[in-house]
Structure 1
């Protein structure tokens, strides 16, 4: 009886490792060679996609999001991208993420004509699917923190975007916050793999939008 119990527990552990470890292997293998830690090392692409995050009580980006936006602005100034698509929750619990992101970038010199907002990027998968299906993005630099980039790059490549990732800074982030978000990637990777296997449609469906094309030619 004891051996059977131990065997059952071992089986549960193995299944858990496969369920959560497999997706992490997938995200890291697909994104291998497509992640860059510095702006000067990044390749060129028509557009940068910045993933949204929660805002501060005053409606301004938290350090996580500000770090992503600072890198996106640097990519634009360096000529690595010609337009920026900010994607997040326009009706989030902390406020309108994409409106705050657009204001932040405009205040740092990115012309308004070069900014496009997708307020229905409710998670990383939806951001990638909508960038491809709604906004017609086929090649992009993805901007987020380094621990999120494997999942983001893998998802966008899965839906058809030739994506490379550039790590956003987080100069004022606490180590506890960084570790908590790294741990969060384990269940998030599992969800990403399930969404990819299912080819889940985005939560919000929209007709094709030419805003990115117009931003590129403006």
Structure 2
């Protein structure tokens, strides 16, 4: 069956529009976070590029029993480096504790405690179910207005952009060692869909987190003690 030129043109225009819509969220997070992120690589100079902030926000990334996943461990290691370098005074550990026997924030807390970060500097957010929830709760529940978010490089543009869209002056530090893990490629591909969800949650719907409150003072106390 012969396809008319008009039908072909409409099909082509639809394909172009679909492609634009698919890459628009990724373009948004990359442009919105430009100039507000740095890669924590093996070079000694990356730390100098990180501005001082009251808080480091570490986003959960999976646990196995009482141990953080390799990606989460790297995020925690970087947050400890930031704390020791005086770049942050407190660390907000935001993760999933939505089911019995799975407690990301406590595992994160214990990991850092075992590595010499004092307990008074650690604050736990048990309802960081996704990046948008963690960013909104950092501001509305814990009162953070300026922070450094710590994650992997592939996730960094989205994390920084969502925190800034949530009203937080955010800078980001991304771990690049995750490229050694095969699973990272699947996670990087997931960013296409996750960025679209982030755009929908933050800009289109301005969604509330799963647990929006009440206001907590634990971060205030940690900053005062630091």
- Sort the TM-score into its range (normalised by shorter chain): over 0.9
Query: Which position in structure 1 is the counterpart of 2:81?
Result: 74
Q: What's the Cα RMSD here? A: 1.8
For the pair 1:48 / 2:50, whether they are aligned, the reply is no
| C-alpha contact 1:54 1:92 (8 A) present in aligned 2 | no
For the pair 1:191 / 2:197, whether they are aligned, the reply is yes
Q: What is the TM-score normalised by the length of structure 1?
A: 0.93
**What displacement does 1:84 show?**
0.1
Residue aligned with 2:192, SS: helix
**What displacement does 1:93 show?**
8.2
For the pair 1:212 / 2:212, whether they are aligned, the reply is no
**What displacement does 1:181 show?**
1.3
For the pair 1:128 / 2:128, whether they are aligned, the reply is no
Deviations 1:57-97 (A, max 9, x none): x3301111001000000000000000000101013588211
Query: Which position in structure 1 is the counterpart of 2:123?
Result: 116
Quick check: 135-144 or 201-210, which moved more?
201-210
Equivalent positions of 1:37-186 (< 5 A) are 37=39, 38-56=46-64, 58-91=65-98, 95-170=102-177, 173-174=180-181, 176-186=182-192
In 1, distance between residues paired with 2:61 and 2:99? 9
For the pair 1:29 / 2:22, whether they are aligned, the reply is no
Residue aligned with 2:123, SS: strand
In 2, distance between residues paired with 1:7 and 1:135? 53
Deviations 1:16-57 (A, max 9, x none): 22222111111111100000113342110000000001112x
**What displacement does 1:196 show?**
1.2
In 2, distance between residues paired with 1:93 and 1:23? 34
Q: What is the TM-score normalised by the length of structure 2?
A: 0.90
Quick check: 39-48 or 1-10, which moved more?
1-10
Gaps of 5+ in 2: 40-45
| C-alpha contact 2:61 2:71 (8 A) present in aligned 1 | yes
**What displacement does 1:170 show?**
3.5
| Residue in structure 1 matching 2:8, options 3, 6, 9 | 6
| C-alpha contact 1:67 1:169 (8 A) present in aligned 2 | no
Gaps of 5+ in 1: none
In 1, distance between residues paired with 2:176 and 2:221? 29
| C-alpha contact 1:48 1:72 (8 A) present in aligned 2 | yes
- Give the number of equivalent residue pairs: 216
